């Protein structure tokens, strides 16, 4: 799992003097990007680049917005320009690595991350985490654990590094360690549905079904469309002897993703375990239709056909399952089904079982569990509650979103009569602090037009409902914010 580093202005002060208005466009674009107005932000960065073609900041942030829109190759082109202008721009290098990872170019991604770590900033937690992820995807667990541990040492409250290390522990079957990592994730990010989902999975693998049920339920509460959690909670309900609830959960997963073979396969397996072979057959047929190479479905359809005494069909399914299974790819669930088939091999016309013994993860994964460590979280300074942040891990935002915020502004702003008569127009930039409670404080104008328009901008901001506060390391903090209020007269 990759995370883009934050939209930060790393070198605006280095923009040359003639490009003052380019800085304005860049600031405005960043404000829009914070609220996920990607296209609006791109338009602003376009203007900034027209006025100052050497603005590495504008290129980098435009690349970020394009990447969020799925325009990965265009994003890489922008990162290339930012790096050409400033070869030591670590955020652009990091983000280009992220974009390359999205294209499965892990070699290229690791090269960019390594440039940051080896030549610019060896303690940049984002890049250490991202390189760790790229090493995971490249099947290099020792390198991955080294980088993820380093990222955690740089910031013991960095949830994403724990998340990725937890995935690595699951892959290594070190479920107790995975549980500790995902405990950290959900502590620092209590609304991280994937954190609770993976925490539940690790507990499910240890047969701690009641605890797993609780975690899957939390994940679903956070995101009612989280199909992964519904599917796993279905199995958990089955083992908690609640078969009807199990079917309800997998039904919901199918309703949310009706073209996903895995969930039909899961319901087919559950119906098989409930001794309902006809219903199981219908679902497994659907799973195979959606994914003709889904080996698990062939295994269970063979078992179901044996239940229904369709021996010729069972033989065909068994042969297809053997054809698709691979010692390097099969899963524990595949082997569980295959073991259920072994007593029926004679019936299926086989004289001896195929050599499909489950192959555990590569031996390279085992040493990494010894490298896992549990950090000591540093105590927070007494002055933390007074500190005002500019950039935080999760930025503050209006409680009902940016669109509702601007609608509120439009409905409540009053154009001063004298300003109308004299034709005063433009943008008033208002700075304020979003408190941990969500209240807005210390509202003031940092760049204005006239006293009347400046005062009106402050007044309307002071009327705004509470915001969602910004968070740093999972804790609500004070964050400084600057937004433009536009005054425009119709001609």
In a domain, 139, yes or no: no
- H/E segment holding residue 446: strand 440-447
Answer whether residue 390 shows pLDDT above 90: no
> In this structure, are residues 294 and 287 in contact, taking their beta carbons and an 8 Å threshold?
yes
Answer whether residue 58 shows pLDDT above 60: yes
Give the closest residue to 265 by CA, choosing from 299, 242, 237.
Answer: 299
The total of other beta-carbon atoms located within 10 Å of residue 267's CB is 26
101, 122, 143: which is the final residue of a domain? Answer: 122
Both structure tokens of 167? 């995935």
Lowest mean pLDDT among 52-66, 158-172, 331-345, 379-393: 379-393
- H/E segment holding residue 162: helix 159-171
Domain enclosing residue 98, as ranges: 1-122
Cα–Cα distance measured from residue 139 to residue 141, given in angstroms and rounded to the nearest whole number: 6
Helices then strands, each counted (H, E), the chain: 23, 8
In a domain, 135, yes or no: no
In a domain, 227, yes or no: no
Which CATH number does the domain housing residue 37 bear? Answer: 1.25.40.10
Answer whether residue 435 shows pLDDT above 60: yes
The pairs formed by 81-87 with CB atoms below 8 angstroms and a separation of 24 or more are: 81/56, 82/56, 82/57, 83/56, 85/54, 85/55, 85/56, 85/59, 86/11, 86/56
Answer whether residue 20 shows pLDDT above 60: no
- H/E segment holding residue 339: helix 332-341
Q: How many domains does the chain have?
A: 2
Which CATH number does the domain housing residue 476 bear? Answer: 3.30.2420
In a domain, 415, yes or no: yes
**Nearby residues of 245 by Cβ (< 8 Å), 6 or more positions away:** 234, 237
> In this structure, are residues 417 and 392 in contact, taking their beta carbons and an 8 Å threshold?
no
Both structure tokens of 91? 């955020």
pLDDT at 10: 34
In a domain, 339, yes or no: no
Tell me: the pLDDT tens digits for 244-301? Answer: 999 999 999 999 999 999 999 999 999 999 999 999 999 999 999 999 998 899 999 9
> In this structure, are residues 419 and 487 in contact, taking their beta carbons and an 8 Å threshold?
yes
The pairs formed by 289-296 with CB atoms below 8 angstroms and a separation of 24 or more are: 290/259, 290/260, 290/261, 290/264, 291/261, 293/324, 294/261, 294/262, 294/265, 295/321, 295/324, 295/325, 295/330, 295/334, 296/265, 296/269, 296/331, 296/333, 296/334, 296/337
95, 122, 149: which is the final residue of a domain? Answer: 122
89, 122, 155: which is the final residue of a domain? Answer: 122
Which residue do the tokens 């040493």 mark? Answer: 367
> In this structure, are residues 26 and 48 in contact, taking their beta carbons and an 8 Å threshold?
yes
In a domain, 17, yes or no: yes
> In this structure, are residues 439 and 463 in contact, taking their beta carbons and an 8 Å threshold?
no
In a domain, 210, yes or no: no
Answer whether residue 34 shows pLDDT above 90: no
Lowest mean pLDDT among 3-12, 309-318, 360-369: 3-12
In a domain, 51, yes or no: yes
Tell me: the pLDDT tens digits for 142-186? Answer: 899 999 999 999 989 889 999 999 999 998 889 999 999 999 999
Which 3 state secondary structure label does DSSP give 391? coil
């Amino acid at each position: 799992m990759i995370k883009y580093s934050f939209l930060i202005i790393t070198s605006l002060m280095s923009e040359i003097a003639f490009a003052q208005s380019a800085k304005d466009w860049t600031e405005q674009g960043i404000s829009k990007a914070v609220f996920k107005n990607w296209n609006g932000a791109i338009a602003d960065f376009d203007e900034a680049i027209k006025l100052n073609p050497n603005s590495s900041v504008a290129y980098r942030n435009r690349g970020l917005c394009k990447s969020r829109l799925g325009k990965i190759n265009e994003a890489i082109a922008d990162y290339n320009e930012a790096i050409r202008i400033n070869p030591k721009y670590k955020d652009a290098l990091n983000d280009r690595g992220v974009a390359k990872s999205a294209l499965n170019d892990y070699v290229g991604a690791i090269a960019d991350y390594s440039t940051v770590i080896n030549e610019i900033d060896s303690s940049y937690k984002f890049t250490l985490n991202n390189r760790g992820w790229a090493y995971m995807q490249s099947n290099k667990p020792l390198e991955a654990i080294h980088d993820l541990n380093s990222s955690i040492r740089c910031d013991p409250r960095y949830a994403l590094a724990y998340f990725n290390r937890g995935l690595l522990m699951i892959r290594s079957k070190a479920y107790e360690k995975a549980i500790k990592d995902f405990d950290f994730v959900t502590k620092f990010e209590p609304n991280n549905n994937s954190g609770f989902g993976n925490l539940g999975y690790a507990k499910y693998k240890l047969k701690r079904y009641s605890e797993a049920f609780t975690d899957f339920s939390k994940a679903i509460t956070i995101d009612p469309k989280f199909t992964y959690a519904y599917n796993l909670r279905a199995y958990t309900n089955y083992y908690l002897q609640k078969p009807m609830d199990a079917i309800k959960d997998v039904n919901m997963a199918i309703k949310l993703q009706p073209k996903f073979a895995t969930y039909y396969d899961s319901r087919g397996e559950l119906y098989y375990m409930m001794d309902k072979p006809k219903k199981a057959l219908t679902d497994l047929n659907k799973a195979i239709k959606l994914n003709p190479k889904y080996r698990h479905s062939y295994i269970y359809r063979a078992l179901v056909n044996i239940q229904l005494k369709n021996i010729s069909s069972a033989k065909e399914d068994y042969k297809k399952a053997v054809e698709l299974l691979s010692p390097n790819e099969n899963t524990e669930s595949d082997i569980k089904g295959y073991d259920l088939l072994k007593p029926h091999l004679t019936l299926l016309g086989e004289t001896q079982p195929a050599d499909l013994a489950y192959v555990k993860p590569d031996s390279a994964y085992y040493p990494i569990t010894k490298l896992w460590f549990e950090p000591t979280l540093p105590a927070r300074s007494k002055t933390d509650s007074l500190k005002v942040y500019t950039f935080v891990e999760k930025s503050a935002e209006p409680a009902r979103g940016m669109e509702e915020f601007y609608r509120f502004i439009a409905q409540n702003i009053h154009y001063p009569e004298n300003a109308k008569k004299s034709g005063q127009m433009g943008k008033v930039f208002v700075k304020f602090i979003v408190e941990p409670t969500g209240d807005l404080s210390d509202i003031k104008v940092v760049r204005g037009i006239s006293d009347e328009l400046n005062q009106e901008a402050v007044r309307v901001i002071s009327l705004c409902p509470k915001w969602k506060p910004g968070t740093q390391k999972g804790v609500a903090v004070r964050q400084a914010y600057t937004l433009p209020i536009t005054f425009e007269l119709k001609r």
